């Protein structure tokens, strides 16, 4: 997974973001002002920056001007939702722009997209005897290819990216099937059973409170 720098001066928001980054397996560093960022970038390898715009000492736009030559992907997270501000952010080189308030799952999904685009995200994940090659959309068990449908892979990818977070059937449909899905929500159960059978993960994908699903990965908190 990735190492992410969260630059947010509001401690509760900073803590909420980093708590959820930890849940899905990312490492992180925290900064509460723009001036704290350059020293962190000098000593640490950062894969992505979540950057608030309205920061003390040095605002996010000015900070972006100073660090964009480093070519580190940046997602602005801010309450400034005017078109002019969004245009400024993208012109400075931002990869995405998230408006407060936001849903944590949306933030995680946007992080995954940016990481993939920058090709800095780990392209293969090994869980027990299963290897998932996310960029190639291929899965192997004990070295043998596992045939998954496009929908099964999308569902598996969503479960992995949000592991240790309970997702309702409705949220899984939204993330894996798309916003326009109008079918029966129980189709999720069918695909979960198929994944369990194909990957031998009867105990890996668990139902939480009979409402949501999560993927539990060995060795992670």
Lowest mean pLDDT across 95-99, 125-129, 198-202, 205-209: 205-209
Contact between 110 and 96 under an 8 Å Cβ cutoff? The reply is: yes
The whole-number pLDDT of residue 221 equals 47
Q: What digits encode the pLDDT tens for the residues 35-70?
A: 999 999 999 999 999 999 999 989 999 999 999 889
User: If we measure between CA atoms, which residue out of 221, 187, 182, 188 comes closest to residue 207?
Assistant: 188
Task: Quote the CA–CA distance of 35 and 167 in Å, as a whole number.
Answer: 37
pTM, whole model, 2 decimals? 0.68
Is a pLDDT exceeding 90 seen at residue 135? no
Dmax (CA) of the chain = 55
With cut-offs at 50, 70 and 90, classify the pLDDT of residue 218: low
Q: What digits encode the pLDDT tens for the residues 28-38?
A: 999 999 999 99
């Amino acid at each position: 997974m990735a190492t992410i720098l969260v630059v947010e001066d509001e401690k509760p928001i900073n803590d909420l973001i980093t708590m959820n980054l930890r849940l899905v397996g990312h490492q992180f560093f925290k900064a509460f002002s723009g001036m704290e960022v350059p020293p962190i970038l000098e000593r640490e390898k950062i894969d992505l920056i979540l950057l608030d715009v309205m920061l003390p000492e040095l605002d996010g736009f000015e900070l972006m001007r100073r660090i964009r030559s480093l070519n580190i992907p940046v997602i602005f997270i801010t309450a400034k939702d005017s078109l002019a501000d969004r245009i400024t952010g993208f012109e400075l080189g931002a990869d995405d722009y998230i408006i407060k308030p936001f849903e944590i799952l949306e933030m995680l999904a946007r992080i995954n997209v940016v990481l993939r685009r920058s090709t800095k995200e780990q392209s293969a994940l090994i869980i027990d005897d299963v290897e998932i090659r996310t960029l190639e959309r291929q899965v192997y068990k004990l070295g043998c290819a596992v045939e998954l449908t496009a929908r099964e892979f999308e569902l598996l990818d969503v479960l992995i990216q949000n592991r240790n977070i309970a997702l309702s059937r409705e949220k899984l449909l939204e993330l894996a099937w798309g916003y326009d899905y109008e079918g029966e929500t129980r189709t999720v159960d069918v695909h979960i059973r198929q994944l369990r059978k194909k990957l031998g993960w009867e105990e890996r994908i668990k139902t939480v409170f009979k409402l949501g699903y999560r993927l539990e990965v060995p060795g992670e908190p």
